[in-house]
Amino acid sequence: MNLDKSTKRIAKRVKNGFQGYPQISLAYYGASSDCANEVIVEFIAEEGAQPQAQKFSSKTDARKDETIQTTLLKVIERADAKTVLETAGVVIKTC
């Protein structure tokens, strides 16, 4: 799947807002707001459950990495997530 299609499908799911559980949250991290080297995906099966997290890293911007974006979409679809949340922008990660 190409990058544009993946990012548009993820954005559409994020735009729907909270629809219930299961829920997936996406947060992008990087050294600056221009480049997100990591994305952390948190899965919450039901209200009050502990989140399960998985991290994906890239040498370039993860938001523009076709493999990572396609994988994120597949994770969302396979988890049958009713809600997809995304942290706005890039969280600056300090050493």
Q: What is the pLDDT of residue 16?
A: 95
Q: What is the pLDDT of residue 93?
A: 81
Q: What are the backbone angles phi and psi of residue 92, rounded to the nearest 5°? A: -75, 125
In this structure, which CATH number among 3.40.50, 3.30.300, 3.30.70, 3.30.720 belongs to the domain 3-92?
3.30.720
Which pLDDT tens digits describe the chain residue by residue (95 residues)?
Answer: 688 899 999 999 999 999 999 999 999 999 888 899 999 999 999 999 999 999 999 999 999 999 999 999 999 999 999 999 999 989 998 75
Provide the whole-model pTM. Answer: 0.89
- Is the Cβ–Cβ distance between 90 and 35 less than 8 Å? yes
- Is the Cβ–Cβ distance between 68 and 54 less than 8 Å? no
Q: What is the pLDDT of residue 69?
A: 95
Residue showing tokens 């993946």: 6
**What's the token pair of residue 24?**
């997936």
Residues with Cβ < 8 Å from 47, sequence gap 6 or more?
21
Residues with Cβ < 8 Å from 75, sequence gap 6 or more?
24, 41, 43, 54
Domain ranges of the chain: 3-92
